[in-house]
A and B are shown apart, each in its own frame.
Chain A
Amino acid sequence: MPFGSMSDLGPSLCSVTSPASTDRVPPQLSAGPRPAPGPAADEGLARRLRALACTAPLHDLDARKANLAGEYSVYGMAEVALAAIDLVTLNMDFDTGADHDQIVARLIPRIAAQAPRRPVAEHERVARWVLENLINVGSVDRGFRAVYGTFTPDGSYVRRDYDFKLIEEVPGPGGTVYLRTTDEAVNVLVGALDTDVTSAQIAAEVKLEVLISRGRLADAQLAAEQARYRTVQYSETLRRALDATRRNVRAVDWLNAVPDMIAEALDHVADRYRHENAILTNIRKARDETEDPEHKRRAAELVDIVKDCIRRHTQLQSRLLEAGPLFRAEQDRQAFATPLTTSGIDLYGHLVSPVLPLPLERAVRVTDAFFAHGTGLRTPVSVRLGDLVDILLTPPVEREHLGAEMPEPDLIATPDDSRFSEEQLAAAMELLDLPADAPRRLSGLLAEARRQDPELPYLVALLAVHAASPPVGTAYRQGEEKLLFAVDDGTELDDPEFGGADLIVGTALLDAAGMAADRTEAA
């Protein structure tokens, strides 16, 4: 078309202009300083490159497992790593992060499931390897670095370092070290988190409610888990705000901003609390009413998740309530001090804050000056050659402060004064090893014991009395599978040697596996 219209004007004109323009355009392109699209597009690219870099350590784990001494290809390292990030995120509380050993312990079941025939020690090794690589223990920063290229506004190409961490170690109370997932890691984990926390949380919860009302529990669980991630993240945000503001009494607007902030946060907690309680009621109903055992299980899991959310909100709320008195105390302490003449140097305002934005090579001159003049003095060690020769030639002093030699202890075998022998105990335990579905009366047990050994009834009676109040909690914690118990139903014991109640003695089976899972969930 353009050629047509131009040729209408005159063929000579067309033949001159069009070749000329095509000749001129290529030099323009090659000489032009922007081979890349605009800086905005480049920035988007840089952001995506950084996001991509955050996933690299996970892929790297699977790539490097072949280099480990041993056959580790059976393990899905990226999967373990994601599970580790999940665990750390969920175990991050207000004050502390997640405990290193605890995370390892919780990772092991998943690793064991990947290779059940391998020894537990190897599973633990894998867990530690993955965790250490997520921290990147080998590097001095304990982090990762990715290099990417961007175009500067003047068109030159610059390679830049992007430093990030996935799991970081933070100091906890008493000198311990805890783990926290970084924002980058949460982004890798939950994805597309670059949104407003509050609205995302509300969205997740509305979604959950809709899902539950339609009975789609499978999806609901996913949404609930996501809601929990949001809850944790939201708490983190508020925790940081609170901690920072309560140290900055004068710098914050104590008249309006802080109380408003706390009031908003409290409103929010109340709102979420109401909301989550409503959900809890709904799911409980779903759990109790549903016939399908699969639905029941899922609903039960959901209840746990929402309970956890509520627990976290309650924790947040108590923090919020503490904030007011703390502000007032700090206010009293700081604001009512007598004003003094100033020395003129505001260490933070005049030194720290101007130094931090400087490039390293300039900033280091200021910090060097401070160091040189701020460390005081050291008395130099002066050595005389004569002393040195003496010191070096002096034989090491015999250690005589160890005290007198200990006399060889004279051990006397103590007589075995146990009331019952090991064999008797074994016999009694065998007698009391009752099937779970068939408890027995104490009277019958005593009679049977008496037939074996006249002393045995005493031991059986003793064990039965102990079983009357069995340490269920201890057994539960120790993961016992069964427990002896005894119940008094009011029947009198008819026995020549013993009196009292004719106890019903039985064995209760404990759901050890379920409890272990429960413990994991509750912690």
Chain B
Amino acid sequence: MTEHVDRSEPEAAVPQAPAAVTPADAADAARLVSFGLQPKLQPARDQEYTELLRRYREDPSFARLADAVATGLGLVVLEVSPRAGMAVTAAEDSVFAVRMSDYARRTSADGGDRFLHGLAHLAVAAMAFPRPEDLADDGYIGRVTVNGVDAFVRQACRRLEERAEEQGENTDPATDAPGLEAAWRIWIRRSAAGATKDARRLAGSTTGIVGKAVAFLTDSGFLQRTGDDHGGTYRTTARYQLQVRDMAGSAAMTELLELGVVPVTDGTPTLLPAEDTDALDLVADAGLPFHSA
């Protein structure tokens, strides 16, 4: 696939390139973008990749050319550096964009499932970068476990449930208006795990949904699997941090503000200590640092 892209690049890029640029330069720029399209490829492992990255950083006209190739393909350049490589991501409506309907089958029919998959991705990011400074610190490597993410979301949901109970609210949704059901209920209602005939994770359970999310992120070169404990443990890559910080976080924030919700944090911890009946902590030793400052 990448070879295919690679071959078609020079023709696409040449017309917009400045006169001084030779077709060979355009081919190199496209080659660099094609490396960026292989997110699991480590720059340090490939000499040609490393060389092209160096050229991008040292030769401004080459950098402009590579950026132009990426833009023409419908890609957004997040960062070009030895650690992250040519970190590109799909622009909106680009052929490279991931669609929810391709991601999970049930999501088109069921708003609840669509939400669960989206929330799983959001929760993985929140768990991987628990504090704002973790997201800002280029050297930070976050760690997540599948069971830990589920426990963390469940804990947050449980807290909302308790708050609703304290206020005497009846949160049971009206039968004919499922769209008005509070979002946290959807997660808490879904079981955390389930036995299956072939001892695999039940796809519809919340750990199954989180498992799918982290597996997908691993394929995207955003996470690296480090072990099998707690449903699978993963660590983040530089690309994931860039993606969350520069793309996803702000996009979701914008959407939230459009809904008229203005999250206010005043520096007090946003993750509060557990009440004694808090947290359907299904997993002992989730072992993750979450807190906020």
Q: Report chain A residues within 8 Å CB of B293.
A: 250
Does any Cβ of B come within 8 Å of A78's Cβ? no
Does any Cβ of A come within 8 Å of B42's Cβ? no
Q: Is the CB of B1 within 8 A of A379?
A: yes
Does any Cβ of A come within 8 Å of B21's Cβ? no
Q: How large is the interface on B (under 10, 10 to 19, 20 to 34, 35 or more residues)?
A: 35 or more
**Complex CA distance for A344 and B274, rounded to whole angstroms:** 25
Identify the A interface with B (CB < 8 A): 43, 46, 94-95, 100, 135, 137, 140-143, 147-148, 150, 158-163, 165, 168-171, 173-175, 177, 180, 237-241, 243-245, 247-253, 257, 330, 333-334, 339-382
Q: Report chain A residues within 8 Å CB of B135.
A: 342-343, 345, 347
List 8 A-B residue pairs with CB atoms under 8 Å apart, sorted by A's residue number. Answer: A160-B172, A160-B174, A170-B192, A247-B289, A347-B129, A352-B123, A362-B259, A376-B217
Does any Cβ of A come within 8 Å of B16's Cβ? no
Q: Closest A-chain residue to B293, C-beta based? A: A250
Q: Is the CB of A244 within 8 A of B191?
A: no
Q: Is the CB of B263 within 8 A of A380?
A: no
Q: Is the CB of A366 within 8 A of B255?
A: yes
Does any Cβ of A come within 8 Å of B80's Cβ? no
Q: Is the CB of A348 within 8 A of B126?
A: yes
Q: Is the CB of B115 within 8 A of A367?
A: yes
B122-168 contacts to A (CB < 8 Å):
122-123, 125-126, 129-133, 135-137, 146-147, 150, 153, 155-157, 160, 168
Chain A: minimal CB distance from B12 (Å): 14
Q: Is the CB of A358 within 8 A of B182?
A: yes
Q: Which of A148, A171, A348 contacts B147 (CB 8 A)?
A: A171
Knowing A359-B182, A373-B251, A380-B96 touch, does A249 contact B5 (C-beta < 8 A)?
Answer: no
Q: Closest A-chain residue to B271, C-beta based? A: A251
Q: Report chain A residues within 8 Å CB of B90.
A: 376-378
**Complex CA distance for A18 and B126, rounded to whole angstroms:** 70
Q: Closest B-chain residue to A131, C-beta based? A: B195
Q: Closest A-chain residue to B195, C-beta based? A: A177
Q: Which of A243, A348, A352 contacts B279 (CB 8 A)?
A: A243
B253-285 contacts to A (CB < 8 Å):
253-256, 259, 261, 263, 265, 269-285
Knowing A244-B274, A352-B122 touch, does A360 contact B186 (C-beta < 8 A)?
Answer: yes
**Complex CA distance for A369 and B201, rounded to whole angstroms:** 27
Q: Report chain B residues within 8 Å CB of A162.
A: 172
**Complex CA distance for A514 and B190, rounded to whole angstroms:** 42
Q: How many A-B residue pairs have CB under 8 A?
A: 356
Q: Is the CB of A364 within 8 A of B284?
A: no
Q: Closest B-chain residue to A178, C-beta based? A: B193
Does any Cβ of A come within 8 Å of B204's Cβ? yes
User: Which 10 A-B pairs rank lowest in CB-CB distance, beginning with the nearest?
Assistant: A367-B118, A244-B274, A349-B270, A374-B248, A363-B183, A160-B172, A361-B179, A342-B132, A250-B291, A377-B96
Q: Closest A-chain residue to B150, C-beta based? A: A171
Q: Is the CB of A247 within 8 A of B286?
A: yes
Q: Which of A100, A342, A358, A378 contacts B183 (CB 8 A)?
A: A358
Q: Report chain B residues within 8 Å CB of A365.
A: 255, 259
Q: Is the CB of A352 within 8 A of B231?
A: no
Q: Is the CB of A377 within 8 A of B98?
A: yes
Q: Report chain A residues within 8 Å CB of B286.
A: 243, 247
Chain A: minimal CB distance from B154 (Å): 10
Q: Closest B-chain residue to A368, C-beta based? A: B118
Q: Report chain A residues within 8 Å CB of B281.
A: 239-240, 243-244
Chain A: minimal CB distance from B100 (Å): 6
Does any Cβ of A come within 8 Å of B92's Cβ? yes
Residue among A100, A143, A344, A370 having the largest count of chain B Cβ atoms under 10 Å: A370
**Complex CA distance for A359 and B259, rounded to whole angstroms:** 11
Besides the known contacts A369-B248, A373-B248, 18 further A-B residue pairs in the complex with CB atoms under 8 A apart:
A140-B190, A168-B192, A169-B195, A171-B282, A171-B283, A177-B194, A244-B273, A247-B289, A249-B289, A250-B293, A251-B271, A347-B244, A350-B263, A351-B263, A359-B179, A367-B115, A370-B122, A379-B5
